Each structure stands twice: as structure tokens, then as C-alpha cells.
Amino acid sequence: MEKLIITAAICGAEVTKEHCSCVPYTIDEIVREAKSAYEAGASIIHLHVREDDGTPTQSKARFKLAIDAIKEQCPDVIIQPSTGGAVGMSADERLQPTELNPEMATLDCGTLNFGGDDIFVNTENDIIEFAKRLQFRNIKPELECFEKGHIDSVLRLHKKGYISGPLHFSFVLGVNGGMSGELRDFLFMKESLPQDATFSVAGIGRYEFPLATAAILSGGHVRVGLEDNIYLQKGILTNSNGELVEKIVRIANELGREIASPDEARKILGI
């Protein structure tokens, strides 16, 4: 099997310090958490940014501050800004970090009910527009899929030429409104991919480590981090993103998967 790419989703847009005190808001805190994940073995930092009070933002200026500061500490790490932002943001608002020409960015591949009245809107026209922006700037898309229909949408749009290959998917499982994080659902998603695609798995909450293990065993890649899960094990909060990455490295070592460096990840993903 190829080496394992570990992505660290260090803060997200929803989890707060009230949930876990190490969730980063400030630029210094974001750098601290990115560095802890990188030093533990993450080759990709999946990046949301916050204002100092924790408010989610897609501000290009705020992203630039964070990216520049992370690169000072982790010069070879791959930084993958989110274009998901937070529920209610406009497409133009969400796309701001792509103007910084990162190597990678996420591309959300379908609409989802997030609970209550919250709807994470990604129409087909939205997906096409986001894909065009990324393609124009030569940014590698990570295709975030929350259920099987999202994969089908990607394959249809790829066939029409809107999404360029090689395709790299991210299964985000266990989210309200999406597929669960049961092994059955992971296998259904995995078996729906074309042979030449790569994939990573993000399990939400209690699904994080079981799905990471399944991905490691089946040749996929793994995303962990405070955006998705704040517990190192049941009832025990993590002290950092680095601790979550360290646990993945231990599992991978026990299962015989080597960890990819950032440059090895670039080669695997075709960046």
C-alpha cells in the first residue's frame, strides 16, 4: 500500500472552547495546533479560521495571516483551506481563501441538512462554479462527500469536464443529515469510487478512530482533528490536535502503514 496521508482539521467552524479548551481561535493558537499536528505526522492542515473571539470567518486577510504564520513553523506542510466556511455564508464569501492560490482546497459536493433550520447549501451550479475557480487557479480539490449521492454528482460533473482528475475524495461520515459512520456506509462509499481515485475519511465524534482504522486497512487516507472530534478516547478530552494525530500514527504503525511526508503526499495526490 502507498503511504498514509494524515490530514489534521484543527478547528472547524462550529466547535468552541466551551467544548474543548484547546480549540484554536487566535492566529497564535492556530499555529500552535497546526504545529502540534505537523510534528506528530500530519502532512496536510485542513484550515478554517476564526476571529479572536471564535467567530468563523472566510476573510482572505485572516487566512493569509494564518497561512503565513503556519508556514513559518512548518514550511513544507500542505495547507488546505476550507471553502465550506459556515452555514449561511455566500459562495463569494466562502471562496475568498482561494484567491491566495493554495495548493489544495475543499470542494463540497452536495447540499445537506445540518439539523434544525440549518441547511448547508451546495447546488449543482455552486459546485460547478467552485470547481471552475479551483481549476482556473490550479488548486487541487478535495471532494467532500457526506453521502453516496455526492459521489455520483462528482462522477457526473467529472465526465462533463467540470472537475479534473485525478479525483481525491474526502468522506465526511457521521454528520447530521449525511450518512452515518458505520462500517457498512464507509464500504458503500469506498466501493462507489473509480479505481484510480484516492480517498480520505473523516469520522465525526465516536466514528473518528474506527473509520480511520478501516481507511488505513483498505488503502485510504485519514483526517482527524478538533473540527471532527474532541476526545482521545471515550470520556477523555484531547489536549491538542497533535495527540489525535499521534494516535493515528500508532494505529498505522501497528497495521503496517508508513506515514507520508508532505512531499510524499504531494506525489500521491498529483499536486
117: helix, coil or strand? coil
Helix (H) or strand (E) holding 46: strand 44-47
Whether the pTM exceeds 0.85: the reply is yes
CATH 3.20.20.70, domain 6-269, yes or no: yes
Calpha distance 128→109 (Å, rounded):
9
Where do the domains of the chain lie? Answer: 6-269
CA of 110: how far to CAs of 69, 126, 210, in Å? 32, 9, 25
pLDDT in tens, the chain (271 residues): 899 999 999 999 999 999 999 999 999 999 999 999 999 999 999 999 999 999 999 999 999 999 999 999 999 999 999 999 888 899 999 999 999 999 999 999 999 998 889 999 999 999 999 999 999 999 999 999 999 999 999 999 999 999 998 999 999 999 989 999 999 999 999 999 999 999 999 999 999 999 999 999 999 999 999 999 999 999 999 999 999 999 999 999 999 999 999 999 999 999 9
Determine phi and psi for 216, rounding to 5 degrees. Answer: -60, -45
Please, are residues 77 and 44 in contact by the beta-carbon 8 Å criterion? yes
